[in-house]
Chains A and B, each alone.
Chain A
Amino acid sequence: MQKLYLLVPLAPLVGALIAGLFGRFIGPLWSHRTTISLVFVSLLASIVIFLDVLEGNNYNGSVYTWLVTGDTRFEIGFLIDQLSATMMVVVSLVSLMVHIYTIGYMHGDPGYQRFFSYISLFTFSMMMLVMSNNFLQLFFGWEAVGLVSYLLIGFWYTRPTAIYANMKAFLVNRVGDFGFLLGIAMVLMHFGTLDYVSVFAQAPGIVDEKVELIPGMPWLVITLICILLFIGAMGKSAQFPLHVWLPDSMEGPTPISALIHAATMVTAGIFMVARMSPLFELSDTALSVILIIGGITTLFMALVAVVQNDIKRVVAYSTLSQLGYMTVALGASAYSAAIFHLMTHAFFKAVLFLGAGSVIIAMHHEQNMQKMGGLKNYMPITYWTMFIAALASAGVPGFSGFFSKDAIIEAVHFANIPGVGFAYFCVLTTVFVTALYTFRLVFMTFHGQPRMDAHTKEHLHESPWVVTMPLVILAIPTIAAGWFIGPIVFGDYFNNVIHVLPQHDAIEKLGAEFTGIGGMMVHALSTAPFWLSIAGIFTAWYLYSARTDIPGKIKSRFGFLYNLLDRKYYIDEFYSWLFAGGTRALGTALWKHGDIKVIDGFFVNGTARVVALTAALVRRYQTGYIYHYAFTMIVGIFVILTLWLY
């Protein structure tokens, strides 16, 4: 079995190397055949491991020793349990679908092999991240997925917007990683190891330890560690205020928006916090911070999605909002619900993105929904799969998103740490907003009158099977994945993995009321989220299908609000003024004044000038005339005699 563990990350790595280094020689066909079959191997291995874990066979062991320093050993190793096995299956399944989809989407692109190499490399990195049994390897995977994300956002490197977006993504992520690395350093300092199991075992022992970063202000060590680690999660999982990179990442080709910027990489932060539940449980302050950050992201990013016209951007803001849901769940100690939503979201968001990509191909790379409409009749498979995903996203009972989202909302309802009221308001309101923007997308794209130009309209047709097949396959879990909520969230599936203190255990209370998925659906009919979601769908239908003249009127009536949302609360402008502008001004000032004027101008060249000046002065005394020297001697003798006589 241990060899199988190695196979899961290494198979895609080999694929990435073959396609990357030899792609030129083996050509596009063999590049995609190689990478796809190796990712398929990885999926099969993941499934076998998953089944093995279901039988109760967990594993925690090292592969090799990376470094030994002082009294610490840094190992590279795997921790295989319910959490990592679930993630492995989700990642490899979505990755495989995206690989297949790419054949159609990237057909004829000059960077075809390179693209396959990147997405296989991503699969490797993500596997290293989720399978890790220690913080060091976690950080490796964490940064490696960031690298691949950087490479893929900038895949079309001649586009100025793409190469701006990829740098922005990397740097914003680095801000998160800055906190993350400090968190890891504090873990190492206080526990003496980076191995998960030993850290978690020691964690309760340091609950009362305090540290004064600013004299006179003691902080709980565990709170500090958790918040620093969470800053990393905020970067990777695009939580406010580090969310700014994700919408721009849509500059990348659509398959990677689905794979990296919706289904897998951006959920790494959620996965990480769930993995660290034994630490986060010990700090109510950290959990409150997570709740509030998650709540802000959920609501405010959903609102932005309502005014976007670019089909990919709507889905991108929807991703931000859904990640907010997961974060809120983490803050409410409903880790299993967060992971469950991560899983259902991976499926329905992948369908939404891949469907959007299918639309974009049909529209000849037009992404503006105002120029779409009526596509339902031309692209039935894309329409129906996206429709299912939209129902799941809006949380209509029966579809996967309903179960996971309802569990989160109820868990927040039951939670009792500071900030929970605000978070509850956010997640509840967002149900309406989610249904509104999702169905706005559906109505604007697929219903109503076609608004595209005649040429595009003439060529409209359903995408090839390599595009629609992944949609259909992923539509199955989009419907059905939620049905497993009983064992996964309320059952004992995550018992040995996720630790929740009794006083935080909202899921436990929910589980007591849980009678089965049928009961959950029936119960939902009498609760607010269901009616909010129906209201959202109805509003979307009314505004974007029935009375399409109203949105324009609202826009002109509430111009200020519209602009605020359209400009995404002016956060990008503010950041580029403060951080990009500020650092550059500071850098220039230090360089021109510090280095050039003070150090070089005053000290270095100044010293040289003083030496030259002194030399010029002293040189005047070296006249070479005997009588000058004789006169100086006489003066000297006179002075010495005078001093001596006194």
Chain B
Amino acid sequence: MSFEFPLLSLIIWLPIVFGVAVFATGDDHNAQIARWIALAGSILGLLIAIPLYTGFDSATSAMQFVENYVWFERFNVNYHVGVDGISMPLILLNCFITPLVVVAGWEVIKQRVSQYMGAFLVMSGIVNGVFSSLDAMLFYVFWEASLIPMFLIIGIWGGPNRVYAAIKFFLYTLLGSLLMLIAFIYLYQTSGGSFSIQDYHQLEIPLTPQILIFIAFLLAFAVKVPMWPVHTWLPDAHVEAPTGGSVVLAAILLKLGGYGFLRFSLPIVPDASNYLAGMMIALSLIAVVYIGLIALMQADMKKLIAYSSVAHMGFVTLGFFLFNAYGVEGAMVQMISHGFISGAMFLCVGVLYDRLHSRQIADYGGVVNKMPVFAAFFMLFAMANAGLPGTSGFVGEFMVIMGSMKINFWYAFLAATTLIFGAAYTLWMYKRVIFGAVASPAVEGLEDISKREFALLAILAISVLWIGVYPYPLTEVMHATIDHLLIHVNSSKL
């Protein structure tokens, strides 16, 4: 693979350029043009990301496809991008989800189409930027920028309570990231004027500042993941967001938090990470059990899936702080898998919402009688959400539970309760929505999924099954990076 070719920059900027082009189509007279440009841009974005996988050298933990240019010389800020085994799969996930979201909004979004489609493309580029930044300032810019499109998507195309949800989302996440900025400035000072993340990895820091930095990072990342108890913005945001917004929020934006832990917290402040691991594990396990119980009682499908996302992301943070290969790789697999499954679950709810304009479980019942094909897809994704072996949902949870057992029996015990709770809330919802006799005249009038919806769900179904049956290629690219990370985390920097 030629290292001269600025592949990563292309992956970051091409969707943004297309996004701007979509904006330029203007008002809804040109909606069809906007849709097609958006689709072309998102598919092109996916295609150009493929060389990232094929040209990736999984034998090394070093950064690949690196580009490094001076940006602000005075503050030593660089446009420095590159990927390793942690960021590469996440970029691919993002590029994969974007075309799906564009197609998902195809007929559903009728107002301000160009702005809607454009926002998703721009966000896709920004998120690629977050995952590939190797300069803390560049990272911070992309990180904060990613808030804006989602804020607009919820605030403009959202439900009745969208303004409260959008502001809650914005403030919650902004508050966390400001502390991260302070941590960056501290690290800039300590490192003698560098914003290079890789320099930070080598920096020796005493324990007390390490803990403070850890907490600053924690607030930024924990809100994004979201971890208990800073998760309450997520159900509100999901409920109000349009389907596409929910898909990207769950599939991609939550992963920014998880990625942050791996790129910043663990390697920059390993001693603090070890010191506070017990607390992090406790918070993660609370997320699994407490949120699992709450999800059970939700009457709103989107809220239920949002809570289930929090519980599943609990496995991600749990896996990180086990500091063994099972845990960290399992957490990575869980992130990718959650991208597919939660995306698919929100699409399924979207399919129903587009028809009946209700997310309340009680408004449905007996949908299978009218939408058998849809019911079959929904069954697959519900089972994946419940972690059935053979689907991607199992792989990550299995690995993290195996990793927990190595540390402490009770960690594994609490984590494994997801087998019961996850199945309980998912299948209970499925039973009330899908099974039974036709519950109302509205359900009687339902039509089965269109070809467009079929294509979306089929692509996700194949992905979910593929990772469940053969996760080997996915984990293969991570080994070198994660092994290196684990050695790094387990050696003191004091």
Contacts and interface: CB of A to CB of B under 8 A. Distances in A.
Nearest to A585: B297
Interface stretch (A175-183, A347-355, A364-372): A175-183
Decide if the interface of chain A is mainly helix, strand, loop or mixed: helix
Interface in A19-48: none
Nearest to A21: B376
Contacts, number: 135
Interface in B424-457: 424, 427-428, 431, 434-437
Interface stretch (B8-16, B92-100, B469-477): B469-477
A607 to B, nearest CB: 9
Contacts of A587: 293-297
Interface residues of A, number: 52
Contacts of A68: 472, 475-476, 479
Interface in B393-430: 394-395, 398-399, 401-402, 404-406, 409-410, 412-413, 416-417, 419-420, 423-424, 427-428
A489 B409 CA distance: 38
A140 B290 CA distance: 27
Given A167-B428, A181-B419, A69 B412 contact: no
A171 interface: yes
Contacts of A588: 297
Contacts of A595: 232, 294
A213 B410 contact: yes
A72 B479 CA distance: 12
Contacts of B427: 150, 167, 170-171
Interface string A171-195: 1001101100110011011000000
A573 B398 CA distance: 33
B471 A66 contact: yes
A188 B437 contact: no
Contact of B232 (A171, A174, A600): A600
Nearest to A596: B232
A163 B436 CA distance: 7
B55 interface: no
Contacts of B423: 170-171, 174
B315 interface: no
A583 B424 CA distance: 10
B388 interface: yes
Nearest to B404: A185
Decide if the interface of chain B is mainly helix, strand, loop or mixed: helix
Contact of A65 (B290, B434, B472): B472
Contacts of A67: 395, 399, 471-472, 475
Interface stretch (A153-161, A251-259, A290-298, A406-414): A153-161
Given A171-B420, A189-B405, A147 B383 contact: yes
A150 B430 CA distance: 12
Interface residues of B, number: 58
A72 B471 CA distance: 14
Contact of A181 (B368, B401, B428): B401
B412 A182 contact: yes
A188 B405 contact: yes
B401 A599 contact: no
Contacts of A136: 398
A69 B296 contact: no
A163 B431 contact: yes
A376 B330 CA distance: 60
Identify which of A69, A174, A211, A586 gathers the most chain B CB atoms within 10 Å of its CB: A69
Contacts of A181: 398, 401, 416, 419
Contacts of B159: none
Interface in B132-187: 168, 171-172
A366 B290 CA distance: 45
B412 A185 contact: yes
Identify which of B402, B470, B476 gathers the most chain A CB atoms within 10 Å of its CB: B402
B251 to A, nearest CB: 22
B329 interface: yes
A147 B436 contact: no
Contacts of A66: 470-472
A167 B383 contact: no
A174 B470 CA distance: 24
Contacts of A160: 436
B324 interface: yes
A70 B417 contact: no
Contacts of A150: 427
Interface string A140-166: 100110010011001001101001100
Identify which of B172, B419, B436, B475 gathers the most chain A CB atoms within 10 Å of its CB: B419
A633 B161 CA distance: 45
A72 B172 CA distance: 41
B7 interface: no
A171 B424 contact: yes
A59 interface: no
A562 B398 CA distance: 46
A157 B366 CA distance: 8
A175 B232 contact: no
A70 B437 contact: no
Identify which of A139, A178, A211, A591 gathers the most chain B CB atoms within 10 Å of its CB: A591
B329 A69 contact: yes
16 contacts: A64-B472, A68-B479, A71-B325, A147-B388, A157-B368, A157-B434, A157-B436, A158-B369, A163-B431, A164-B431, A167-B427, A171-B427, A174-B420, A181-B398, A587-B297, A595-B232
Interface of A: 64-72, 136, 139-140, 143-144, 147, 150-151, 154, 157-158, 160, 163-164, 167, 170-171, 174-175, 177-178, 181-182, 185-186, 188-189, 211, 213, 583-584, 586-588, 590-591, 594-595, 599-600, 603-604, 608
Given A67-B472, A167-B428, A182-B401, 11 more contacts: A64-B472, A67-B475, A70-B325, A140-B389, A171-B423, A174-B419, A182-B413, A182-B416, A188-B405, A189-B406, A594-B290
List the 5 closest pairs (A to B, CB-CB), nearest first: A70-B325, A185-B405, A587-B293, A587-B297, A140-B389
